Structure 1
Amino acid sequence: MSPNSHCFPTGQTLLTVQQDIKAKLKYKYQHISEGIGHHGNQSLFKDIYTELYITEGGSGGLNNEHEVRQIEMASKKQTTQETPIKCNDIFKPLPGQDKPIRTVLTKGIAGVGKTVSVQKVILDWAEGKANQDVNFMFPLPFRDLNLKKDQYSLMQHISHYLSELKEIDSIEDGETKIVFIFDGLDECRLPLDFKNNEKCCDVTKPTSVDVLLTNLIKGNLLPSALLWITSRPAAANQIPPECIDQVTEVRGFNDPQKEEYFRKKIPDQNLANDIIKHMKTSRSLHIMCHIPVFCWISATVLEMILKEAEKDEVPKTLTQMYSHFIFIQIIVKNRKYNIATETNPKELSQSDKDMILKLAKLAFQQLQKGNLIFYEEDLRKCGLDVTEASEYSALCTEIFKEESGLYQDKVYSFVHLSIQEFLAAVHAIESCLDKKENVFSPTGDDEEKESIQLSDLHRRAVDQALKSENGHLDLFLRFLLGLSLESNQNLLRGLLTQTGSTTQTNDETVERTVRYLSDNIERESSPERIINLFHCLNELGANSLVEDMQTSLHSGTLSEIKLKPDQCSALAYLLLMSEEVLEKFKLKRYNTSEKGYQRLMPVVKTCKRALLDGCKLTYKSCETLASIHQTPNCPLRELDLSYNDLEDRGLELLCVGLTSPLCNIQTLVLGQCGLTEGCCSVLASVLSSPNSQLKQLELRDNDLQDSGVTLLSAGLEDPINYTHWGKYSCFSQVCTELSYTAVCWTGGSRL
């Protein structure tokens, strides 16, 4: 492509500017920092990079599950055919796609590798290895854009970051191929008001960052430019779906990639093999290794522990892993900078303790608000001196980091969300043990403070976690309860006030908490929240119910006993934690009550065929099933709900999930479910939905009446989906003993 004289001043060719920018980006992105800020030792990107698993990601809609639950689903062995996508190919249409792709949204949980994927694409472009048809790549992280309050034009914003463009009036010539990369939508604190923001089409017109972004994403500004946006799943719905052409998902490491990472990270291959072997012994730890950052944390901890032959301290739970990690990082920091500890070198100094507890307070306050990125004002609000925080981030870069933004403003964060959740738990438990404060209900009454016990905090934390719609306190709760064990507190020597100084013993605290968890497992209605309570019991080492169910499951004796609801929850926990995707889940094989069947519902999301016929399910089950249909990576293809009294209201709830872009149901059986003509209009909307994957629908022995079948037929005849429905038999035996002859489709013909 020849340089455009309007865009570039005399003597400054397109090639020259492009080469200068490539050189600048190569210098910036050639190193990778696994949690390490700009103060730490960094590795060359090419030496440590391990290919990530990226797939087509359905829709950009909201996902309310805690990210650890999402990774547990992603950890299932994939039995469906998915096409991996290389990060350099995200703008290439998938097979069967004709529409050109302008805007790509890439989803992925915290620490799964979104930013590393961005780094890979930019570095490969800068080094001339990929996407050489692109003239410019402009990486603009949301964490930096948050800080710009004044009004600037798009050209001025870009020039702030890449000074090579300062002399250029415009890049809007229709020939220059540009890619904008907006990393970290979940870190955005701008309103992104797509509905009310003014229209802006001029790249030289000064306006707010929010207006610039919404117009760029909508295509009013630089409609020929390509956009790549990354986000955690819970924030993905900030962008209107009509503005997104392609959604991809970063899944992190699959099992072979986990092992490849450890072997690259640990030079001693025998030690690497020992670490891989140990991680496989704990399902919860192995699942977390789908997250590259957790692999790094595990490698850091296990390399030191196994080297020093302290194998009796090898962590088996998440709480133990993170307790070791925090302690090891402080010890490494002190050794590195020759900082003498006041007492035993394996105990925390008072200065380290004070700083960690300040960071823990920040972690808790920001977790409550849902923030992963902090600014100076956030630090000041919780008593952290900015200079003090900056100095500590320079020393202990693997816990807390400070980075310079586009405009040299400082942004702060914990290395990973899970570290923030762990430290938030440290703050909660230390506030109770040392200050006699319950962080969920602080009180100034000295008499009431004196009576506060750790079990009071546990009960309140359990209650708060159970109320959370998105489970944002689930992992925090697991850490909080895990830290209640004296053995885990000993791992953080000198950081926590010992529980022995309180009026109740550690054993009594654990016993009361286990009893409270068990009571909630019996009465809680949300199957998802119940699953997390079993994770909490595992952190406390109270696994008896799960172990009993595992024994019965392996021995094949489950069918011989009538399962209580809490036993059903334990069974659901076991099946969900398994790495296998079930070919078939037949609910009726288990002898239990209606409430017990409800507890087993989450297992549906781990199977390909769910046979739930004749299990006395009601409309209440349909809300759970609808949420399952909206679960990413759900392998479910066939659902049989026949001979259950679902009623019309149950089907209406179910249809919410059936129209989700994430739903992959192809066969739905609803025979004798108490349905009437009242549900047919809702069901017809499913049949005509462009998102629907349904190929076979059975509605036998329902009182649909002629009017209901007419509505269903109208849904099938929708011209939008004529081609889709013309390929399949849409419903068989829709109703019996009716005068109306139903319209069916088989091979595109009316019968």
Structure 2
Amino acid sequence: MSLCGDSEEEDTGPHQTHRPESPLSSCVSMKSDGSMDRPPDFSGDSTPCDHSVWRTGTHTAPSGHQNLITNDPTINRSRDTNPDVVLQRVLETHKSSMKRKVEHICEGIINPENQTLLKSIYTELYITEGQSEGVNKEHEVQQIEAAVRIRRQDTPINCNDIFKPSPGQEKHIRIVMTKGVAGIGKTVSVHKFILDWAEGAANQDVDFIFLLPFRGMNLVKDEGYSLHRLLLVFHPELQGLKDTQKYEGCKMIFIFDGLDESRIQLNFHIQEQKLCDVTQTSSVGVVITNLIQGNLLPSALIWITSRPAAANQIPAERISQVTEVRGFNDPQKEEFFRKKIRDETQANKIISHMKTSRSLYIMCHIPVFCWISATVLQEVLPHDDSKEIPRTLTEMFTHFLIIQTNMKNQKYDERSEMDRQKLLQSNKEDLLKLAKLAFNQLEKGNLLFYEEDLRECGIDVTAASVYSGMCTEIFKEESVFQQKKIYCFVHLTIQEFLAAFWVIYCYVSNNMEELETFLTRQKKVSLDDLLKAAIDKSLQSENGHLDLYLRFLLGISLESNQELLQGLLPQTESSSESLQRTSQYIKEKLINQNKPHNVVLTKLSGKKNISTERAMNLLLCLLEMKDSSLHEEIDVLVKSGKNLSPAHCSVLAYMILVSEDVLDEFDLKKYKTDDIGRERLMIAVRNCRTARLGGCNLTASSCKTVAAALQSPDSHLTDLDLSYNEILDSGVKHICVGLEFSCCKLENLRLQRCSLSAVSCSALSSALRSNSHLRLLDLSINNLQDSGVELLSTALRDQHCTLETLQLQCCSLSAGCCSALSSALRSNSSRLRLLDLSNNNLQNSGVELLSTALEDPHCKLETLQLWRCKLSAGCCSALSSALRSNSSCLRILDLSINNLQDSGVKLLSTALEDPHCKLETLLLRRCSLSAGCCSALSSALRSNSSRLRLLDLSYNNLQDSGVELLSTALEDPHCKLKDLLLYDCSFSALSCSALSSALRSNSSRLRLLDLSYNNLQDSGVKLLSTALEDPHCKLENLLLRRCSLSAVSCSALSSALRSNSSHLRLLDLSDNNLQDSGVELLSTALEDPHCKLEKLRTDRGEFVRRR
């Protein structure tokens, strides 16, 4: 298949390694991590592997075997008395040999100087038991960048325990399949597994571990191979084992590494030849299939590694367990850089730089890319030249090419243009041959290539340039096949970069014959015609196999990158006009500017819309070209307030996703569009911290997009509001799938009025028990009923539940749920700090049950909201008892809109006087109170034990007599009240005299006083104004809405505000007949230098004072 042209011919020579015909395979994914024992080292410390994994598969293999090396003392004594000296010697020699094979990692050129101990650099990889759901058709780097596929929940297991069943499972695990994209660390995980065994750190019941890489087995040509002979090829130390029957008594593990690189025919559907003896001969493929089928050595354990696209070569029913290597998560990325770069200051600088570029940092999920980035930045950053520091993929790989070319001279100064140019010029011939090799093999879709492929491109296989770290010999010469070497690039992205460079080189050199498969015409082609052809070819790919290649091609077209490559290119060829036309062409593939700001998605070749992944890649291409014009155009459109079409929304969402900056808040309502547009914008939640999606007509289907974001390791989402959407129970189930993922960072989830039932509570309960990070859950205004809350209560008792705030307003609850809640609150595991059960029919019996929990020493509840719960004075006795308990932690209690009456408040007042009571906020709005309760409250406030800071008695008939009683408390030095709310309490100007006196008291601590909706009149405000001028008055907020005031009040207040003694910051005079003259008096006061007022509210609006 050609990269961009019309030719579809492929070389089908017998020595080539082709990708499978499955659409999963990518012609750009050139190399599995089997070559990882060359360049990078990805994983590391000296402890045994400890990876997390997912479990799938139902195959049950035969169990039972006899191992010759065991901890069973009876068997050891038997061995001591009847030693098999030869076998013991072979076992010891084999173990030593395996240790030598895997204990080192080699970086770049293969020589002793580049050998690093695996233990010293090994960084734990993120591995899961199981695999990503669905068939993954995307380019492997696109898989990393997209990270949108739904995954099953991770089940952590130890890598050394991959052959052990999970707790509670009885099945025998015989064959394990480990999947992972190229360069993700599969082979290094295998090597660490072997090293731990060889050093005695793990799996000591295993006698033999045989490592059989497919790339090596590809070279076995004849048919006369038995299993024993095949093992001798890769493990010559077995020569001494003459009695092959000894295999039957040993516990052994066969590791087949790199199934995706296999050229061997594995036929499981037709029994070509049944082999039952390790000495029977056949083809290598038949030997392997008989071993996997269990005909040969049925007790042997088998571990197969593969890239995802090729894993289906082994029938699913043969696999006992599937694991998937996910690469590095964010902490592991940092760990790798710190192990690779010993200088802490430099490591910090490199990590900081990588985090500033989201596209680069996401790529660091792949260990190979971490190695490339570390290699480049170690060289570039010390020179502190901001122009040289790579910020795009193309810049990173361009520097990598230069550095690897100069590997023999580590003191090379990256800033010296002359030195760089001379360096590249002196190596030009070899590098161009490598680039041609990359392009040719990329077109043919080959995974690996051999000496004859190098010779076809004129490469001398003995030249040091071949081993410059760009192209690495990957088959160790200790094999009997040492005359048949295998080559590949360090990673698929290296080959894509070099292939893209070859295209630009041929164009600049007018060598169009080399690009005959690239274009239909070879003469008089402009640069933008060349790039447009590549764009069209890339968009025709369903799996994005040309995405990275296209980004490199467009990146290298920049003059700045071509200048870095001077010495290789005869001259730069990057006219601004060509790049502008190319940029416009890309934008036209996404948008059609028929009129200003009218953006419409176009169709490709009259067929279907460009997929999300291809559209995102086009935007990434613009980033590689350093073109921000599209972003600016969309930004102008959004700020204009005009309607956004669904097409606008798609482009905007892609832009948010590829942005280097994470949005602090994504508010879907902010964008003026229809329901279809909002659905398209939804994918942007993957790149924000807070998502406000309330009241946007979202459905259960929308929740799949949100769930995918929650499961992404790169998601930053911590706060999610889906309130007032009909997402139903089915939508919540999708969300809960995301919540159960270990990488989910969500802490706050709001689901008010989402048409939920008790069914949702079952899913949420499960999620809360699964190591979720959720701290706040708001399920208010949903028909959960008691059964739903009982399910949630089981989660609150679980040690893994981290919930601290649970809001259940108006959820059709009764006293029936309070028993379960009370039990949960008394649990030692519960971390709940706030519980809101307002607007539910709990009645006194329900609150009495909750009160028993408040007295329990394990209860950590600090806020209890019970407004409108059909309570009476009867519940106050139990609450009072709980508040007086030494164990109670309650700080805030809201009993508003309940018929407590004076008798109930008197009971609560006795609790306020108790030294054990910790209550600081008491809300008693509309509780059928009169002045009769104020005496008890006043006494409590004057108590030395009271800690009350806020008291709300609004909407109660306290009258002047009640307010006067409260005022006496404010003057007491023991009173700690700071906020007093007396909104609509039926008192008059008479109360203002007592309040004024209290405010002038040296003992008063009052900061906020709300007297709104009381008939104070001007005379009352005059009294209050005298207090404001007093140096002892500490009042900062005075609310006087609808108090029958006129301009007369403004004169007194204006005088008070100009006083040097006034501390007032906020004054609310709304809904009063102040007239213009009154407002002008207040405005004049605001200009006085002594006035400290910051906000003034009147019917004319809010005045904010600017200092």
TM-score with structure 2 setting the length: 0.51
- What are the Cα deviations for residues 659-707 of structure 1, in whole angstroms up to 9, with x where unaligned? xxx9xxxxxxxxxxxxxxxxxxxxxxxxxxxxxxxxxxxxxxxxxxxxx
Q: 1:571 aligns with which of 653, 663, 673?
A: 653
Partner of 1:533: 618
Partner of 1:18: 91
How far 1:375 moved relative to its partner?
1.6
Question: CA contact under 8 A between 1:37 and 1:394: conserved in structure 2?
Answer: no
Query: How do 1:25-424 and structure 2 match up within 5 A?
Result: 25-38=98-111, 41-58=114-131, 62-74=135-147, 82-151=154-223, 152-166=225-239, 167-170=241-244, 174-202=248-276, 203-333=278-408, 344=419, 346-380=421-455, 382-385=456-459, 388-393=460-465, 396-404=468-476, 406=479, 407-408=481-482, 409-424=484-499
Runs of 5+ unmatched residues, structure 1: 645-657, 663-751
Q: What amino acid does structure 2 have at the position aligned with 1:307?
A: P
Change over 3 Å in CA distance of 1:586–1:134 after alignment to 2: farther
Change over 3 Å in CA distance of 1:393–1:187 after alignment to 2: farther
Q: Residue 114 of structure 2: SS of its match in structure 1?
A: coil
Question: CA contact under 8 A between 2:424 and 2:566: conserved in structure 1?
Answer: no
How far 1:206 moved relative to its partner?
1.1
- What are the Cα deviations for residues 11-66 of structure 1, in whole angstroms up to 9, with x where unaligned? 64433211100111111211112344357521111111111111113379742111
How far 1:399 moved relative to its partner?
4.4
How far 1:365 moved relative to its partner?
2.1
How far 1:240 moved relative to its partner?
1.5
Q: Residue 509 of structure 1: SS of its match in structure 2?
A: helix
Within 2, Cα distance between the matches of 1:559 and 1:142? Answer: 60
Within 1, Cα distance between the matches of 2:551 and 2:99? Answer: 41
How far 1:171 moved relative to its partner?
5.2
Within 2, Cα distance between the matches of 1:498 and 1:87? Answer: 52
- What are the Cα deviations for residues 323-366 of structure 1, in whole angstroms up to 9, with x where unaligned? 011011112335699xxx99745433545112111111111222
Within 2, Cα distance between the matches of 1:127 and 1:530? Answer: 50
Within 1, Cα distance between the matches of 2:588 and 2:393? Answer: 24
Quote the sequence identity (%).
50
Change over 3 Å in CA distance of 1:71–1:472 after alignment to 2: same
Question: CA contact under 8 A between 2:68 and 2:250: conserved in structure 1?
Answer: no
How far 1:438 moved relative to its partner?
7.7
Number of aligned positions between the proteins = 630
Query: How do 1:710-749 and structure 2 match up within 5 A?
Result: none
Change over 3 Å in CA distance of 1:197–1:633 after alignment to 2: farther
Q: What amino acid does structure 2 have at the position aligned with 1:206?
A: T
Partner of 2:530: 457
Question: CA contact under 8 A between 1:111 and 1:293: conserved in structure 2?
Answer: yes
Q: What amino acid does structure 1 have at the position aligned with 2:360?
A: L
Change over 3 Å in CA distance of 1:581–1:391 after alignment to 2: same
Change over 3 Å in CA distance of 1:628–1:433 after alignment to 2: farther
Question: CA contact under 8 A between 1:154 and 1:212: conserved in structure 2?
Answer: yes
Question: CA contact under 8 A between 1:474 and 1:532: conserved in structure 2?
Answer: yes
Q: What amino acid does structure 2 have at the position aligned with 1:178?
A: M
Q: What amino acid does structure 2 have at the position aligned with 1:92?
A: K
Within 1, Cα distance between the matches of 2:222 and 2:83? Answer: 31
How far 1:109 moved relative to its partner?
1.4
Change over 3 Å in CA distance of 1:103–1:150 after alignment to 2: same
Query: How do 1:409-488 and structure 2 match up within 5 A?
Result: 409-437=484-512, 441-442=516-517, 448-488=521-561
Change over 3 Å in CA distance of 1:371–1:595 after alignment to 2: farther
Within 1, Cα distance between the matches of 2:87 and 2:695? Answer: 66
Q: What amino acid does structure 1 have at the position aligned with 2:380?
A: I
Q: 1:517 aligns with which of 583, 586, 600?
A: 586
Establish whether residue 542 from structure 1 lines up as the match of residue 624 from structure 2: no
Change over 3 Å in CA distance of 1:468–1:593 after alignment to 2: farther
Larger relative contact order (C-alpha < 8 A, sep ≥ 6)?
1
- What are the Cα deviations for residues 125-164 of structure 1, in whole angstroms up to 9, with x where unaligned? 1111111111100001111111111120111000112122
Change over 3 Å in CA distance of 1:280–1:585 after alignment to 2: closer
Change over 3 Å in CA distance of 1:326–1:189 after alignment to 2: same
Question: CA contact under 8 A between 1:305 and 1:311: conserved in structure 2?
Answer: no
How far 1:494 moved relative to its partner?
1.3
How far 1:278 moved relative to its partner?
0.6
Partner of 1:507: 576
Partner of 1:704: none
Change over 3 Å in CA distance of 1:449–1:112 after alignment to 2: same
Change over 3 Å in CA distance of 1:600–1:233 after alignment to 2: farther
Change over 3 Å in CA distance of 1:231–1:67 after alignment to 2: same
Question: CA contact under 8 A between 1:428 and 1:438: conserved in structure 2?
Answer: no
Within 1, Cα distance between the matches of 2:391 and 2:513? Answer: 29
Question: CA contact under 8 A between 1:39 and 1:394: conserved in structure 2?
Answer: no
What is the alpha-carbon root mean square deviation over aligned residues?
4.6
- What are the Cα deviations for residues 447-492 of structure 1, in whole angstroms up to 9, with x where unaligned? x533112212211111111111221111010000000000011111
Within 2, Cα distance between the matches of 1:587 and 1:200? Answer: 63
Within 2, Cα distance between the matches of 1:473 and 1:170? Answer: 49
Change over 3 Å in CA distance of 1:567–1:238 after alignment to 2: same
Question: CA contact under 8 A between 1:134 and 1:177: conserved in structure 2?
Answer: yes
Q: Residue 297 of structure 1: SS of its match in structure 2?
A: helix
How far 1:425 moved relative to its partner?
0.7
Within 1, Cα distance between the matches of 2:256 and 2:178? Answer: 10
Within 2, Cα distance between the matches of 1:221 and 1:154? Answer: 9
Change over 3 Å in CA distance of 1:32–1:564 after alignment to 2: same
Q: Residue 423 of structure 2: SS of its match in structure 1?
A: coil
Within 2, Cα distance between the matches of 1:128 and 1:218? Answer: 30
Q: What amino acid does structure 2 have at the position aligned with 1:458?
A: L
Question: CA contact under 8 A between 1:315 and 1:321: conserved in structure 2?
Answer: yes
Within 2, Cα distance between the matches of 1:218 and 1:19? Answer: 29
TM-score with structure 1 setting the length: 0.73
**Structure holding more helix per residue:** 1
Question: CA contact under 8 A between 2:506 and 2:515: conserved in structure 1?
Answer: no
Per mean C-alpha deviation after superposition, the further-off stretch among 254-263 and 529-538 is: 254-263
Q: Residue 32 of structure 1: SS of its match in structure 2?
A: strand
Q: What amino acid does structure 2 have at the position aligned with 1:392?
A: A
Q: Residue 404 of structure 1: SS of its match in structure 2?
A: coil
Q: What amino acid does structure 1 have at the position aligned with 2:575?
A: N
Per mean C-alpha deviation after superposition, the further-off stretch among 58-67 and 516-525 is: 58-67
Larger Rg over CA atoms: 2
Change over 3 Å in CA distance of 1:47–1:164 after alignment to 2: same
- What are the Cα deviations for residues 153-183 of structure 1, in whole angstroms up to 9, with x where unaligned? 1110001121222343425754311111111
How far 1:395 moved relative to its partner?
5.1
